[in-house]
């Protein structure tokens, strides 16, 4: 593994999101002096927190899987996730609702899920689910240490027996087709393949290797931190501070001083200069390269994942058929993926993620009130409507979403809203996210593993990247891994 040469005693981490905090904890554990610079007044980055009336809203991800990856970061400084965060394992992990009126609770316990599938689609599908579960675990074991939790210096690192193992598991086939080898019911196939959209690729075109995300969601377990997802970065920041890290909130990095191919100082917007021996950069790639004063060297321009519209709604009531996480599938499937990834249209028959965090933490809303988070995938601004167009489009699309939710059984949803906030690709773009998407570069084959933007910067020997734009990629688990990998580049551990 290539590491940062020379002295690395003092490290500045730019960004207090999950990747930056993971990097900070691992660096502290290796004896480095760490300063974290964050432009916001709080930690979290994409996993931030905002208040709306008496409601506390998570601004980013709502699904937590693989919490042991966060625990690794705490353990680096002799701390633990359990000591800092009250985690609730969700049962069911999801509730899936379908356009034909049927529904399925997705359990991560194998026996409970097999029985659920048996009642839903019959014994043959239940037996297929059990085989699918074994396959998902095998895929995860073949990939995690060799292809996800690793620093790539060359594509030749792929030439390992685990690559042959992955091929034997048909990991280079198409996701939807491989899921179909185990379960035939199209509703079940959706449950185990929709996760590829997190990686920015429709199930019909995604590599079957991305079923590893379905493993995390449907086998390894889904968790909720009391206090909301923002409780995780707050706890990580507290652990880092207690271990000696210094935090500079409300400070924006304006430029990096580079001398003889090394970053020697980080300049802040108040004029202060922080001297450093190495720097970890976690903002989105366009911001990183602007700070470095250089353009990335790629033969082909990056393709970005679809974006999302999010409606945060504080309501006077809730609906008993909603679980903590509910996926409401539209009748259409392939067409909607084509709309958001190719033609640039809003989904004509959307599949939606509804999260109700007050199901497990009523303190996130005023007494007797409820909080609902509605996520609708949509085209990014390179494929679909521009950021400017969303100024007029956003309110209209909000009304369409509310109407669709009411048609799907959330009667009176619109009238129940007393506080709301709508987030569109224009807002993501304003935060510095390329193509107006918080999901960064898509996980096409040419943008995966050693072909994804590397976490080392050509021509700057002591700058390391972390976050969803670099390896290993998008999602809370992989972003936590990216922070550890960045720290390893500096510490050599």
Q: What is the pLDDT of residues 406-463, one digit of tens each?
A: 999 999 999 999 999 999 999 999 998 999 999 998 888 778 887 888 999 989 999 9
**Mean pLDDT, residues 8-31 taken together:** 98
Residues whose CB is less than 8 angstroms from the CB of residue 178 and which lie 6 or more positions away in sequence, other chains included: 170, 208, 211
Closest CA relative to residue 438, chosen from 349, 377, 374: 377
What pLDDT, in 10s, does the model give residues 362-403? 999 999 999 999 999 999 999 999 999 999 999 999 999 999
What pLDDT, in 10s, does the model give residues 274-296? 999 999 999 998 899 899 887 76
* Two structure tokens written together for 465: 């990247």
Q: What is the pLDDT of residue 56?
A: 97
Beta strands in 129-268 (DSSP E): 222-225, 246-249, 253-259, 262-268
Q: Is the CB of residue 351 less than 8 Å from the CB of residue 325?
A: no
Closest CA relative to residue 118, chosen from 101, 105, 137, 108: 105
d(CA 376, CA 356): 15
Closest CA relative to residue 279, chosen from 13, 4, 1, 481: 13
Residues whose CB is less than 8 angstroms from the CB of residue 41 and which lie 6 or more positions away in sequence, other chains included: 249, 250
Q: 162 pLDDT band (50/70/90 cuts)?
A: confident
Q: Is the CB of residue 26 less than 8 Å from the CB of residue 77?
A: no
Q: pTM higher than 0.85 for the full model?
A: yes
**Mean pLDDT, residues 77-102 taken together:** 97
User: Mean of the per-residue pLDDT values for the chain?
Assistant: 94
Relative orientation angle of helices 110-121 and 123-143, to the nearest 10 degrees: 140
Pairing of strands 64-65, 222-225: antiparallel
In the β-sheet with 33-38, what is the strand arrangement from edge to edge?
Answer: 246-249, 33-38, 10-14, 278-281, 460-465, 456-457
What pLDDT, in 10s, does the model give residues 125-149? 999 999 999 999 999 999 987 788 8
Please state, for a pLDDT cut of 70, what percent of the chain lies above it: 98
Q: Is the CB of residue 271 less than 8 Å from the CB of residue 255?
A: no
d(CA 283, CA 40): 12
């Amino acid at each position: 593994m290539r590491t940062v040469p020379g002295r690395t005693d003092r490290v500045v981490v730019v960004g207090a999101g999950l990747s930056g905090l993971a990097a900070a904890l691992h660096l502290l554990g290796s004896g480095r002096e760490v300063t974290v610079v964050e432009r916001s007044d709080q930690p979290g980055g994409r996993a931030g927190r905002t208040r709306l009336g008496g409601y506390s809203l998570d601004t980013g991800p709502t699904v937590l899987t693989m919490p042991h990856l966060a625990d690794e970061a705490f353990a680096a400084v002799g701390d633990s996730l359990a000591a800092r965060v009250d985690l609730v394992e969700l049962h069911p992990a999801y509730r899936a609702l379908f356009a034909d009126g049927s529904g399925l609770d997705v359990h991560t316990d194998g026996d409970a899920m097999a029985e659920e599938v048996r009642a839903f689609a019959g014994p043959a599908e239940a037996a297929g689910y059990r085989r699918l579960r074994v396959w998902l675990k095998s895929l995860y074991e073949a990939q995690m240490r060799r292809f996800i939790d690793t620093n790539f210096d060359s594509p030749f690192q792929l030439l390992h027996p685990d690559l042959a193992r992955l091929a034997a598991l048909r990991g280079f086939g198409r996701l939807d087709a491989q899921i179909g080898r185990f379960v035939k019911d199209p509703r079940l196939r959706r449950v185990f393949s929709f996760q590829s959209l997190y990686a920015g690729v429709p199930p019909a075109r995604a590599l079957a290797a991305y079923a590893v995300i379905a493993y995390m969601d449907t086998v390894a377990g889904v968790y909720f931190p009391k206090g909301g997802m923002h409780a995780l970065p707050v706890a990580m920041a507290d652990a880092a501070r207690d271990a000696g890290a210094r935090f500079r909130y409300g400070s924006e990095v304006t430029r990096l001083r580079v001398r003889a191919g090394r970053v020697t100082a980080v300049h802040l917007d108040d004029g202060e200069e922080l001297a450093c021996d190495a720097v970890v950069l976690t903002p989105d790639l366009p911001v990183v390269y602007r700070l470095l004063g250089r353009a990335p060297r790629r033969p082909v321009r990056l393709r970005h994942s679809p974006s999302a519209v999010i409606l945060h709604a504080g309501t006077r009531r809730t609906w008993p058929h909603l679980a903590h996480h509910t996926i409401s599938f539209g009748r259409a499937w392939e067409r909607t993926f084509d709309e958001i990834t190719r033609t640039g249209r809003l989904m004509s028959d959307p599949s939606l993620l509804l999260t109700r965090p007050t199901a497990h933490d009523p303190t996130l809303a005023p007494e007797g009130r409820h909080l609902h988070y509605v996520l609708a995938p949509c085209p990014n601004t390179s494929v679909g409507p521009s950021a400017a167009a969303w100024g007029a489009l956003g309110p209209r699309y909000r009304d369409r979403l509310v109407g669709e939710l009411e048609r799907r059984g959330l009667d009176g949803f619109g009238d129940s809203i007393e506080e709301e906030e709508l987030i569109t690709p224009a807002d993501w773009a304003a935060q510095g996210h390329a193509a107006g998407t918080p999901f960064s570069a898509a996980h096409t084959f040419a943008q995966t593993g050693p072909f994804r933007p590397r976490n080392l910067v050509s021509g700057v020997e002591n700058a390391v990247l972390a976050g969803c734009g670099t390896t290993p990629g998008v999602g809370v688990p992989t972003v936590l891994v990216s922070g550890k990998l960045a720290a390893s580049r500096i510490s050599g551990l």
